[in-house]
A and B are shown apart, each in its own frame.
Chain A
Amino acid sequence: MTPEVERLERLAERLRAVDPYVPPPGAKIRGWNLVLAAVEQSNTARLRVHPIRRLVLATVAAAVLLVAGAVAASADSLPDSVFYPLKGVLENTRGALTFGASDQLAYHLELANTRLTEAQAMFARHRVDLAAEALSALDDQLNAAALVIQAEKQSDPAVGAAMENRLRQAIVTHDAQLAGLQGQVTNPTALNAIMQARDRAAQALQTAGKPATSNGNGNSGQGNGATNSPHPTPKH
């Protein structure tokens, strides 16, 4: 052990022998009272937070359940349901997220089917006004489908032709259903709405068969009234 290390070791030993500073009893008691008060206050604050957190969690859970329930209820809702506007919002959201001509065509044809089903249900409930709106929305969807086909024909005529064939088949099916419906109703307004719907469906097929014009009809199907309407039955 070198002299320096010996010296430092002696100094270290001397430091170990130093009496510690001990707090006076009064300071320790005072400290305990203050610490205890702070700990109790902290515990109280924590307990106060818990009910608030529970309330927030319960509110969020209820909101989630409510929204999920409303969405589920709206999926099959009819035009006379309070959930029907939500159905339109969901459909438009889906439309905004649908890309590609084939998918857009399928989207419009599916909505056209839905509108036809709604119209049939409304006729059955003697809600001619709502049935007429549904038929008008049906035609909007067919027209939107026709515009998608027009645009597709410009870029790929073969694919466009196949899509046109899909539209034709859909319109034939719709027309058969509308003809059956026409035979069941006697209300002149209802008859008129059905006939108009059949005519407009035929016009949509003609639109699909025409070449796209430069006045904006030749878009890809997005941006038209049927797609972006906030309501499944936009015409009043």
Chain B
Amino acid sequence: MRPLGKAASDDDRPLIERVRQGDQDAVRALYERYFDRIYNYAYARLGRAEDAEDLAIDTMTRGLTRLDLFQDQGVAFSSWIYRIAHNATIDHYRRHGKVVLVSLEHAPALESADPSELAVEQLSNQDLHTAIRELTEEQQQVLILRFFQDLTAAQVASIMGKSVGAVQALQHRALGSLERTLQGRAVN
């Protein structure tokens, strides 16, 4: 996996202070630090490069022009920017509709498919992305943030406003749902 740039856990506060003082270099530094990550997140959620670009630009614009609001949030800038991206994703779904919104969280495993036979190493990236987009909102979010964005459970918990334990449980269910989705695709 290619790195997405500097880790989102880095302390952004000095940069944010400089942005507030009108330092354009600091704006650029924050943009460089987060644009690729947000683009990647948006692409994984929406599945279209054009939509991902629009959403990433919109998210960065909102994030960097509304730092006065960030001051009162009590969370890390990285969490805040991902929340903006998540809300923008929801807005996008509202405006354009979502192609698939089927919860498989509680769906039974397919009897015709033996889970042990699912050769995960042979799955293409496209298969995985497509299957993830069939999961619920929260399941998508936790898998994308944990595995594509390489964030810790604590960071994901901060972004999603959940406890670490809840994120871990959600991650477990999300992986199970993803597995069943991939099995279903393999059978079909």
Contacts and interface: CB of A to CB of B under 8 A. Distances in A.
Contacts of A97: none
A22 B179 contact: no
A22 B36 contact: yes
20 contacts: A4-B176, A7-B115, A8-B179, A10-B120, A11-B120, A11-B178, A14-B120, A16-B147, A17-B1, A18-B1, A18-B147, A20-B148, A21-B43, A21-B44, A21-B52, A22-B40, A28-B36, A31-B35, A39-B65, A43-B22
Contacts of A30: 53, 57
Interface string A1-32: 00110011011111111111111100110111
Interface of A: 3-4, 7-8, 10-24, 27-28, 30-32, 34-36, 38-39, 41-43
B113 interface: no
A42 B69 CA distance: 13
Contacts of B95: none
Q: Is the interface of A mostly helix, strand, loop or mixed?
A: helix
B1 A14 contact: no
A159 to B, nearest CB: 59
Contacts of B111: none
Interface in B31-78: 31, 35-36, 39-40, 43-44, 49, 52-53, 56-57, 60-61, 64-65
A23 B36 contact: yes
A11 B179 contact: yes
B128 A18 contact: yes
A15 B44 CA distance: 12
Nearest to A40: B24
B112 interface: no
B140 to A, nearest CB: 12
Q: B57, B64, B172: which has the most chain A beta carbons within 10 Å? A: B57
A8 B146 CA distance: 14
Given A14-B121, A16-B150, A21 B57 contact: no
Contacts of B129: 18
Contacts, number: 107
Contact of A19 (B49, B65, B125): B125
A36 B129 CA distance: 32
Contact of B39 (A13, A14, A21): A21
B135 interface: no
Contacts of B116: 3, 7
A38 B1 contact: no
The 6 closest A-B pairs by CB, nearest first: A15-B147, A21-B43, A42-B65, A31-B57, A23-B39, A8-B175
Contacts of A24: 49
A27 B54 CA distance: 9
B128 A38 contact: no
B54 to A, nearest CB: 9
B2 interface: yes
A223 B92 CA distance: 67
B101 interface: no
A146 B36 CA distance: 87
Given A32-B31, A43-B22, A38 B64 contact: yes
B90 interface: no
Contacts of A7: 115-116, 118, 120, 179
A27 B44 CA distance: 17
B98 interface: no
B39 A19 contact: no
